[in-house]
Amino acid sequence: MKKNIWVIAHHQETEIKPVTFELLNMANTLARQINANVNTVLLGTSVTHLSVRLIGLCDHVYLFEHPLLSEYHYETYQQIFLKTVDKYHPDILLVSSVLRGTDCFPRLAAHFKAHYISGCLDLSFNPQSGHIRYHQAVYEGRSILEGAFKLDRMAVIMTRPHLFAPSMEKGQSETKISPLKISLSPMEFITRRVSSIKTVPLSLGEALVVVAGGRGMQSAGGFKLLWELAHRLHGAVGATKAAVDAGWCEHRFQIGQTGSLISPEIYIACGISGSIHHLAGIQGAKTIIAINQDPNAPIFKHSDFGIVGNVFEVIPKLIQVIDSLGD
C-alpha cells in the first residue's frame, strides 16, 4: 500500500508561513523516492481560504477549523494529533521546530511508540536496505549524527527552518481538499487558558535575519537600537544570556545552549563576545556578521564579516544607510 507523509502546516491568519513550503519540498522529495502520498494538515479557527496556496504542492489538504484553536494549547494539539493518527495512520509526520506544538510531538511519538527524530537535517531512501537515512543535529548542533530507520511504524520528524528551499512548484496535478474527520470538545481538556502574553510578530526560529545583542549593548535602552535595526531588516531580535540575566530582554529571546537554536540567513552579533554557550545556538546561521569594539573578541573567529567599532556608533550608521536606500 502507498505510504503517507503528513506535513503540519504553519500559518498566520492571512498567510501560510514559508517553513510549510520548505517541509513540503522535503516531503515531496522523499515521497518520490518511496512512492508516497503527501498530505498537509491545516489547523486553525478559519483556515479554508489558505488551502488554495497548497494546491499542486501535495496530494491532499486536510482542514480542521475549531474555535478552540484561537490560541495554542498543547492539550488541544495533542488531542487533535492523537485522533488524527488513530484515524488516518500516517507513516511519517513532518513538523517544523518553529511550529506551535513542538511540545506535543515528542509525547505523540512516545504514545504511538513511533520513531522520533528531532533536529533532522535531511531524509533519503536507500532502496538496497529499505531504510530511510537521515542526518540529525545533536548537542546543540555541535555534532551531526547519521541514522536510519525502517518505516515499520510511524516516524515523527522535526526539522529546523531554512534547511530546504521552499517548494513553490506545482508537483501534484490534483490536490484534494477535505475536512479532517475528527471531533474536539472542551470537556476533553484538563486545563483552560486564562490569559496569554503578547508575543513578538516574528519568532526567532523563523526569522531570516536575526539581530542579537549582548552585554556590549549596556542597557534595555541600548536594545532599542537592535529593535530599530531588526525592524528595518524585517528580522527578529535575540540576546545573549548575559543580556537576559541583566534584565534587558526576556528569556524567550535568548540564543544559545540554554536558549533557542537558530538558523537564519543572516545573524548580526552586536556587543557579543562569542562564548561557546552562545555559539552553540547559531551553528545553523548562514552568514554571521559581528560588531564588537574589541578586535580580539572570539566572535570574529566565527564570523563571515566583522566590524571593529562601538555598537552605538556603528548601528545608527547602518540604520541611516538602510533608510537612505528606501524600500
Phi and psi, residue 266, nearest 5°: -130, 130
Number of residues near ligand FAD (by CB under 6 A): 28
Among 102, 203, 275, 283, binds ligand FAD (CB under 6 A): 275
Among positions 90, 259, 264, 284, the unique one binding ligand FAD when judged by CB under 6 A: 259
Cell of 326: 528606501
Separate counts of helices (H) and strands (E) for the chain: 7, 14
For the bound state, the minimum distance from the C-beta of residue 276 to ligand FAD, rounded and expressed in Å, comes to 7
Using CB under 6 A as the binding rule, whether residue 294 contacts ligand FAD is answered as: yes
Among 20, 263, 292, 303, binds ligand FAD (CB under 6 A): 292
Q: Which is nearer to ligand FAD, 102 or 218 (CB)?
A: 218
Q: Any contact of residue 229 with ligand FAD (CB under 6 A)? A: no
**What count of other Cβ atoms lies within 10 Å of the Cβ of residue 35?**
9
Q: Which of 206, 210, 208, 214 is nearest to 299 (CA)?
A: 214
Of 242, 285, 290, 318, the one binding ligand FAD (CB under 6 A) is 242
Cα gap 113→92, rounded to integer Å: 13
Closer to ligand FAD by Cβ: residue 90 or 141 = 141
Answer for which of 258, 283, 319, 322 binds ligand FAD (CB under 6 A) is: 258
The rounded distance, in Å, linking the Cα atoms of 104 and 181 is 20
Residue 99 makes CB contacts below 8 A (sequence gap 6+) with 8, 10, 19
Q: Does 254 bind ligand FAD (CB under 6 A)?
A: yes
Query: Please, are residues 252 and 151 in contact by the beta-carbon 8 Å criterion?
Result: no
Three-class SS of residue 266?
A: strand
Q: According to the binding rule CB under 6 A, does residue 74 interact with ligand FAD?
A: no
Question: Could you identify the residue written with the cell 554557550?
Answer: 277
Asked if 86 touches ligand FAD (CB under 6 A), the answer is no
- 205-224: which residues touch ligand FAD (CB under 6 A)? 214-216
Give contact residues for ligand FAD (rule: CB under 6 A). 214-216, 240-243, 254-259, 271-273, 275, 277-278, 281, 291-294, 297, 310-312
